[in-house]
Structure 1
Amino acid sequence: MKLSNEQIDIIDAPLVSIAVTACAGSGKTATAIRRLIAIRQKMQSSRGRVVLLSFSNVAVNTFNKGYAELATALPDDANRRRVEVDTLDGFFTKHILRPHAYRTMAATQAAYLVSGSEPFLTRFQYWREGSPPLPLKDIKVGMFNKDFYFVISKGDELELLDKSEVLKIVNRLGKTGAYTHDLGRYWVYQTLVSQPAVLRALAARYPQILVDESQDLGTVHQEILELLICSGVQVTLIGDVNQGIYGFAGADGEFLKSYEARAEVTGYKLTRNYRSLPPIINIANSLCDRNDEPDRQNEQGGAFFIGYKESELPKLTEAFKAHIDELGMQLQDSVILCRGVRRAEVIAGRASPPGQGMVKVLAEASLLRDQHSNYHGCFKLVCRAIIGLLDNAPMGSVQDFRGYHMKTE
C-alpha cells in the first residue's frame, strides 16, 4: 500500500501529543507502526522508551510482526530495542501491578490475578438483601469525575452498587494480594496515586505512549492515562469512534473526540479507505456523517446468496463458473462459501471415496474387540460404519440397531 499524504503527515509529525481519527480500512496499523519507529528516531540519544498499546493479543502480534519487518532496515542499536508493543492491561500489570501494587493493597506478597472460580473467593462476595450474593468477578469498575463507582450488568442495563460496601470487600481481598481483571485497573490507578515515585519513574521510562483503538478506552483506563499525561508523558491516540465495541465497559469514544480539542494536542485524520468499494463507503458516510474517500474503484462482481435443491448443485456450480468467466475474472479470485464442511469438500472435489473413512472406524472396532475385549463398543462402531455406507439411511438407524442388539441379548 502506498502511503497517503495524510499518513505521511502523521508519521513525520513532531514529538507532540497527537489525536488521529481514522475511518475503517484507512491503514491505521501501517501508520501506527511507522509512527512508532519515527518517534524513537526523533528521540535520538534519549534513554526513554516508546510503547504502542492495544487491547488484544491478536493486535499486539500484528503490530510486532509489522514492526519486525520494518525494523530489519534499522540499525541494530539500543534505540531499536527501546520500542515495545503490549496490551494496555499487560503493560500496567508488568510495570505497576506485579512489582508495586502490593504496598497499596497492604498485602504481604506480590499481586496475583484470580479467575473467580477459586474456592476462597466465596468469602469475598457482595450481598444484597433478597438476592443471591454477587461474586467480585461480576462487578465492573468505572470512574466519573475522578471518583470510582461499581456496577453489575442486568441485561442491557447497569445496576449501581453501594460503593462503601464494595470497597470493604475489595480492600479485604486486596490484603491477600488478589485482584480480578476489573479490580486490577482499580489497583493500578490507586497505586499510581498513592506511590507518586512509581508514577514519576514510569513517565521517565516511557515518555511516549501510543494507544491504538483508543475509542475503546474505558473510564478507568482514561484516568490512568490522565495521570501519565499530567506527569509529562506525550500520549498519541489513534482510533475511530464509529468502530467502538466496548460500550458495555463505559467506552463511548468521547475521550478520543475531546482529546483533539486540548491545547497541547494536534489533530490528524485518515480519510482514505483502502478496503471497501465506493457503494459501501457511501453508505458508511451517510450513517456516520463522514466524508471518507475510496481508494478502490467500482468493480464487477459482488456477493450472491442462492437457495437450491440438492439435485441442482452441479448446475449451480457450473453457472457460477460461467458468471465468473463473463466478468473476465480468474477463478482463483472467487470463492464459494458453504455452511457445512462436507458440502465444501464435495464442491471442491475433495470428498473421500465411499468406505475410506469407514475403514478407520472398522479398524478401531477391531482394536476394541481384540485388545480390550470391549464387545459393546465394537458393536457400536460396526453399526456406525454400516449405516455410513448406506444410501439415504433412515434417521436414527444406529440407535435402532443398538436397541435391537440390546433386546436380543
Structure 2
Amino acid sequence: MSQVDNAVPTPEQRAVIEHEGSCFVEACPGAGKTRVMVERARGLLRDRGAGGAIAFLSFTNAAVSELESRLQRARVLPTPAFPHFVGTFDGFVWQFLIAPFGVPDCAEAPRLIPDLGKLTVGWGRKYPLKCFCPVSGNVIPHIAKQEKVEVDKVAPAVRTQAKNKWRRLFDAGKLDFAAVRRLAVALINEREMAPRLGAALAARFGEIIVDEAQDCNPEDLEIVRWLRRSGIRTTVICDPDQAIYGFRGGVGRELRAFAKEFPGTARLPMTGNFRSSRAICCAVAAFRPGETAPDKPLGKHRELRSPVYILGYSGRSVPRDIGRLFRKLIEGHGLDPARCPVLATGWNAASRAVGAPTPKKRGYLVVKVASAVSRFHGAVDGHERRKAFEAFHEALIGPWLEDGQTYRHYLTDKAITPECWRADMLPLIQDLRFDPGSGETVSTWLERARSALASVLPDNKTPAQHLAKISELEACLCTPESTALTARSIHSVKGEEFPAACLVIGTSWAKKALDFLEKGSSENTAEEVRKLYVGVSRPEQLLMIAVPNSQKERLCGRLSAFGADYVEL
C-alpha cells in the first residue's frame, strides 16, 4: 500500500478530489496522484448527482494495472468494473470509436496490429515502414533519426512503395495505433455522426480521468477536447516534465496550450513529494530545465538525511563496476537489491552496468532464445518476467513469419491470443534454465534446447540449423555478475517507485543533457533530459548517479546549486 493511502489529503489534493466539473491538474513526481484519482472517484460515485460511470485512462499497461489494483483494493469499483472503464487510452479509442464502426469503405473487420511499422520497404537497403507517412509517403524526420535513416538518401520510389503498402494494409482493415488515431479524429469531426456518438458516450460516462496526459500526442488531445465538448466531465492529470514518448508524437507546447482552455480556477497544482527524501527531491529539481525550486518532501522519508551518491566512470562504454558498487551501497543501507533497479535511457546501457550480456549478433534465433531464457530466470519482478516470456515466444514465432508479416501480424492472422500460447510456452522456458552448477555446459544446454524446441520450429530446417552454435551463446546464458540487480529502461519504470535506484547517464548524452539543463540549448535533447528526470524521481530513499568523469564536476555543481547533499564515490 502506498505511504499516502492513509494520510490526510493536503489542501491541494483535496481541491482536486472535491473539484466540481472538468479540471487540469499539474502534479510533481510523488504527489500522490493515484490516491487522489481513487478518492475523487469515491466521491463522484458516492454523490448520486454526479451521474454516470467513470473512465480511467492511462498510457501504459503497468500504470493501468496499478490503478485498477488500487481502485479494487479501496473497494471503489466492482469486479468486473462495468459500466466503468479502466484501461489504456488506446484501448478506449479502439473499443468506443473504431471497433463498432470499422474502416470506411472496407468490408473487412478492423484488426489492431501494433507492430505494423516494423514491416520494411525498399530494395537492397530495407527501411522500417514506420519511417514513412501513411498518407503522403514522405519520410517522418524524428522517426527516421531514431532508426538511423538519412532522409535525403531515401529514393522517391521507396516513398511511393511505402505509401502503397500502408494503403493496402488499411484497405484490408489492418491498423496500427497511428491509423486508429487518424480514423478516430476523422470520426469525431464528422458533422452528423460526432454529436450522436458524443451524446451516447456522455450517457454512459459521467467523468473521464486521463492520467499521465503528458504522454498524449496531438490526436489524443483532440479526442480529449471532443469528449469534454460532448458534455463529459474531464479530469486531466500530468507532469509535462515527464513527457518521454516523443517517438509516438508526444506533445509539449500543445499540452501547455491545452491547459489554457480550462478556466484559471480549474487549473490545479499538486506539489509536495510523498515518495522521496529531501536530497532526492533536490536532485529531481536539478534535472528540471530552468531554476524551479525543489518539491517539498512530505512522506515518511522526509527526515531521511541520506545523500545522493555520484560515481564517475571512464571509457566510452558503461562499465559493469557500476552494478557492483551500487549493490554494495544498497546492502550497506539494509535495502533489498531485488527491489532496487539500475536505470538508463536504453536497456543495453543498464544491462552493461549490472554485468548482463548485450549480444551484438541479436538477429540469430539461438541468441534471441538464450537471452530471453536468461532474462526470464534472472527477473526479480513480474514486469521483466512477462517481457522476457513474450520475447521468448516472439523468437520462436520468427521462423514461421512470411514475407510482409510481423510477430503481432502473425498472431492476429492466426487468431492466437496470449491465453492460447502461454500454457504451452511456460513449461518450455522454465525447463530451459541454464544450470552450470549441475555441470551443464553451453553445448549440453544447446542440445537440450534443440530437442525441447524441435516440435515448435518449422521443419524446413533441422533443429541444429535453426539453433546454430555461435561464440556469443555463452555470454547470453551467463548470469549477471551483480546477482539480483535488475536492469530496466526508464520507459519501463514510468509510474513506478523503488526503495533505491541507480541512474546511469551514458557517454553520448551526458554533456548534451547538462548543456540543455544549464543553457536550454538544443531542443532535440529535451526528451533525453526528461527521461533522466523520470529516472531520478523513481527512488524513495537512496539515489546513485553514474556519470562520465568528464561531466562529473558539472553534475555535482548543479546538484549543489539546488541544495542536494551528495557524496562522490
Normalising by the residue count of structure 2, what TM-score does the alignment of the two structures yield? 0.47
8 Å Cα contact 1:40/1:82 also seen in 2: no
Shift of 1:108: 1.3
8 Å Cα contact 2:24/2:236 also seen in 1: yes
Letter in structure 2 aligned against 1:188: A
Question: Which runs of 5 or more residues in structure 1 are unaligned?
Answer: 143-148, 308-312, 342-354, 372-379, 381-409
Distance in 2, Cα, partners of 1:159 & 1:49: 47
Do structure 1's residue 357 and structure 2's residue 437 form an aligned pair? yes
Letter in structure 2 aligned against 1:339: V
Say which of 61, 67, 74 aligns to 2:65. Answer: 61
Distance in 2, Cα, partners of 1:118 & 1:62: 29
CA separation of 1:5 and 1:250: change in aligned 2, threshold 3 A: same
8 Å Cα contact 2:133/2:163 also seen in 1: no
CA offsets, 1:352-395, max 9 Å, x none? xxx98235669x79x99xx9xxxxxxxx9xxxxxxxxxxxxxxx
SS at match of 1:101: coil
- Mapping of 1:18-57 within 5 angstroms? 18-44=23-49, 46=51, 48-57=52-61
CA separation of 1:62 and 1:298: change in aligned 2, threshold 3 A: same
Letter in structure 2 aligned against 1:155: K
8 Å Cα contact 2:97/2:187 also seen in 1: yes
What is the aligned partner in structure 2 of residue 87 from structure 1?
88
What is the aligned partner in structure 1 of residue 182 from structure 2?
186
CA separation of 1:158 and 1:86: change in aligned 2, threshold 3 A: farther
CA offsets, 1:209-261, max 9 Å, x none? 11111111101111122222222222111010111101233323334423442
SS at match of 1:294: coil
SS at match of 1:251: coil
Say which of 291, 299, 302 aligns to 2:305. Answer: 299
What is the aligned partner in structure 2 of residue 250 from structure 1?
249
Shift of 1:49: 1.6
Letter in structure 2 aligned against 1:50: I
- Mapping of 1:323-342 within 5 angstroms? 324=332, 331=334, 339-340=354-355
SS at match of 1:187: helix
What is the aligned partner in structure 2 of residue 231 from structure 1?
230
Distance in 2, Cα, partners of 1:248 & 1:21: 23
Letter in structure 1 aligned against 2:60: S
Distance in 1, Cα, partners of 2:181 & 2:271: 33
Distance in 1, Cα, partners of 2:44 & 2:210: 14
8 Å Cα contact 2:281/2:296 also seen in 1: yes
What is the aligned partner in structure 1 of residue 172 from structure 2?
176
Distance in 2, Cα, partners of 1:201 & 1:224: 15
What is the aligned partner in structure 1 of residue 22 from structure 2?
17
CA offsets, 1:14-46, max 9 Å, x none? 2x1101101111112221222223233335473
What is the aligned partner in structure 1 of residue 74 from structure 2?
70
CA separation of 1:159 and 1:90: change in aligned 2, threshold 3 A: farther
Shift of 1:140: 5.4
Distance in 1, Cα, partners of 2:440 & 2:114: 41
CA separation of 1:9 and 1:174: change in aligned 2, threshold 3 A: same
What is the aligned partner in structure 1 of residue 364 from structure 2?
none
Question: Which runs of 5 or more residues in structure 2 are unaligned?
Answer: 314-320, 343-352, 357-434, 452-468, 470-569
Say which of 7, 12, 15 aligns to 1:6. Answer: 12
SS at match of 1:273: coil
What is the aligned partner in structure 1 of residue 285 from structure 2?
285
Distance in 2, Cα, partners of 1:94 & 1:304: 47
What is the aligned partner in structure 1 of residue 461 from structure 2?
none
Instruction: Name which of structure 1's ranges 109-118 and 132-141 shifts more when overlaid on structure 2.
Output: 132-141
8 Å Cα contact 2:182/2:219 also seen in 1: yes
What is the aligned partner in structure 2 of residue 402 from structure 1?
none
SS at match of 1:275: coil
Distance in 1, Cα, partners of 2:186 & 2:268: 33
Shift of 1:99: 1.1
Distance in 1, Cα, partners of 2:57 & 2:133: 22
Distance in 2, Cα, partners of 1:118 & 1:155: 15
What is the aligned partner in structure 1 of residue 240 from structure 2?
241
- Mapping of 1:206-225 within 5 angstroms? 206-225=205-224
What is the aligned partner in structure 1 of residue 112 from structure 2?
113
Distance in 1, Cα, partners of 2:99 & 2:202: 17
CA separation of 1:37 and 1:81: change in aligned 2, threshold 3 A: farther
- RMSD, aligned CA: 4.7
8 Å Cα contact 1:51/1:84 also seen in 2: yes
Normalising by the residue count of structure 1, what TM-score does the alignment of the two structures yield? 0.63
Letter in structure 2 aligned against 1:66: R
Name the larger-Rg structure: 1
Shift of 1:63: 0.4
Shift of 1:82: 3.7
Distance in 1, Cα, partners of 2:150 & 2:54: 37
Shift of 1:4: 2.1
Distance in 2, Cα, partners of 1:12 & 1:181: 35
Instruction: Name which of structure 1's ranges 276-285 and 230-239 shifts more when overlaid on structure 2.
Output: 276-285
Distance in 1, Cα, partners of 2:307 & 2:128: 52
What is the aligned partner in structure 2 of residue 400 from structure 1?
none
Letter in structure 2 aligned against 1:222: L
8 Å Cα contact 2:131/2:144 also seen in 1: no
8 Å Cα contact 2:116/2:176 also seen in 1: no
What is the aligned partner in structure 1 of residue 99 from structure 2?
98
